[in-house]
Amino acid sequence: MNGRYQEKLQRQFLKSTMLPILLCFVFFAVVLLAYSEGFMRYNLNRGAQQAKEKADEIYASLTGYLTEPEAQADLLAYCNGEISDRAMTYSFRMKCSDEPVRADLLLLDFQGKQIYYSGRSDVTAVHPEYYRETLFETREKDRSILSRFYFFLGDASWILNAVVFDESGDPVGQAFLLMREDDLVNAFRQSGYEIVLYDSSRLAAMTTSHTLLDNRHRMLSSGLGLYSDENSSYLVKSEHLDKIGANVAVFAARRDWKGYVFPYLGILLFLLILITYESTRFSRNLAMDSAGSLQNLHSELSGIRKGTQQRVSIESDDEFSDIAGSINRLLDQVESLNQKSLALERVRNDLEKAQIKAQFHPHFIYNTLESIRFAILMDDGKRASEMLLALTSLLRYSVEHNDYISLDEDMEHIREYLDIMRFRYGERFTYTFDIADDTRHYLIPPLFVQPLLENSLKYGFAVKDSLELSVKTWLSDDSLHIRVRDNGIGMTPEELSLQRKLLEEGQFAEGHFGIGLVARSLKLQYGEGSTVDLDSEYGKGLTVELTLQKKVEQNGI
């Protein structure tokens, strides 16, 4: 028998490990092959957005100067001959010292004659006539900021134009802010991509690579998709600059990813072969170790069905030994609890707290392990292993925690209990949790609501083929509220009225020991202000809501 079980366990382990490993290999191979395009396009879109933000930042900062009242006053004073060239230059440089790009100021009177320029004298000598002929136009009452791109004699600029008005609102001149291509390149170069700032006619005010432009300083690419020249191939992304009325294009050079992809695929193939070899060895050893321990545990638990006097005896260095120890400790506590007197209120309080922890009857453990054994025989070893670990964790938790514990940690072990039950009932049982964040630190006894869940499972599956459970917590009026709801058979109005009356009198309702146990524990540990409320509609389910008041001295909450 053990030989057949070992063979089945080994085959199942190989099936459950080899398929995920193969899928992982295929997945990583596809990811590596797609990485060259996907990652590059992601960075390209991000780079285009950053370039757009940089252009908008430059525009906003310099238009801020042209519209600033103090700057307008200085420009007017110069046009009226009230301040010198040096004072005008000092004022302009101080106000624009923190701008993201260096700019030069050109002033024309309202007939188009140059009266001031802050830039180099050689530029002043070459360009004024071109400015007057191509940029200057009479703008009577127009207070808008005009943005233009300019290219002349090998120099490109981005120019912002504003009218200078006197106190009566009459135009007296025009101001031009000129951003030279070299200064713009320095502002955009940090992106790591090739960038072109161009207008609707593709005239470029700035480019980080002149190979992307023709001899008239116009961009060769359409600004979308792919672009190739004699030496390189690029992915191109353009962003429209609404305020400026222009566009910014980002060019990302396409890389040859073969030198990266094939080595990675080779490494993955090597790892696949290595993991396959190790998995075969591990599955063989695991099957040999687990078969004996599980069979021994099953035999021991079969004897416990006749009574709780017998104890499980398993010596191993794995979880089976932990399970045996937890079961024995649990049986010891059950036997001890059955022998204690319930006469004194304080003793009864301690006893009922222990009873909540010891709710796991040996039949629960036996039935769970029987389900695990059946799952293994059905070649579902992975799921069986998960449930063994969950059972071990739950049993250890139930016997090792004697004091209050946080709601968050307790709910994690309640989930283990419900996962085990879902393993036993399959798709017929589902559950949901809605745990408010501000309730997670609240301290409660271990497995405090487990009897309510067990009650719902017991009576729900007695009359229905499927069952849904929900657990919700929230804080209200400085009290913790816990609501357990199921869609089982519920109670008739008469049964509901009787159960409420018995709870008020502190009696255990017939057929609902779990609710009575929680209700009495709630009264003893949290005081009379804490309550258990029942609500039910026959045929549609039962709702139990607990209200726990804070107790600073005893609970430290």
Q: pLDDT by residue for the chain (557 residues), tens digit each?
A: 445 656 666 666 666 666 676 677 677 666 666 666 777 888 888 989 999 999 999 999 999 899 889 999 999 999 998 999 999 999 999 988 888 888 889 888 877 788 888 877 655 545 556 666 666 666 767 788 888 888 877 788 898 988 888 888 888 888 889 888 988 998 887 777 899 999 999 999 999 999 999 999 999 998 888 888 777 888 899 999 998 989 999 998 876 555 556 676 677 777 778 777 766 766 666 656 555 666 666 666 666 655 556 666 666 655 666 777 777 777 677 666 655 443 335 445 544 454 444 455 566 787 788 888 888 888 777 888 888 888 888 888 877 776 788 999 999 999 999 999 898 888 899 999 999 999 999 988 888 888 888 888 888 888 888 999 999 999 988 889 999 999 988 889 998 888 888 877 766 555 555 677 777 777 777 777 788 999 998 988 999 999 998 643 344 44
Return the domain boundaries, the chain.
59-253, 286-390, 403-557
How far apart CA 172 and CA 163 sit, in angstroms, is: 8
Superfamily grouping for domain 59-253: PAS domain (3.30.450.20)
pLDDT at position 539 is 86
Let me know: does 518 contact 452? Beta carbons within 8 Å.
yes
- DSSP assignment string, 228-246: E-SS-EEEEEEEEETTTTE
How far apart CA 517 and CA 508 sit, in angstroms, is: 7
Q: Which residue has 């700057």 as its token pair? A: 71
The CATH number corresponding to 403-557 among 1.10.10.1590, 3.40.50.620, 3.40.50.180, 3.30.565.10 equals 3.30.565.10
In Å, what is the CA distance from 57 to each residue of 100, 241, 421? 8, 11, 61
pLDDT at position 358 is 46
pLDDT at position 381 is 78
Let me know: does 74 contact 82? Beta carbons within 8 Å.
no
pLDDT at position 341 is 41
pLDDT at position 250 is 93
How far apart CA 60 and CA 317 sit, in angstroms, is: 71
Residues 6+ positions from 523 with CB-CB distance below 8 Å? 506, 530
Let me know: does 95 contact 71? Beta carbons within 8 Å.
yes
- DSSP assignment string, 473-497: EEEETTEEEEEEEE-S----HHHHH
How far apart CA 125 and CA 144 sit, in angstroms, is: 28
pTM above 0.85, yes or no: no
Closest CA to 507 of 532, 477, 475: 532
Q: φ and ψ at 113, to 5 degrees?
A: -90, 135
Q: With helix as H, strand as E and coil as C, how does 114-183 read?
A: EEEECCCHHHHHHCHHHHHHHHCCCCCCCCCCEEEEEEECCEEEEEEEEEEECCCCCEEEEEEEEEEHHH
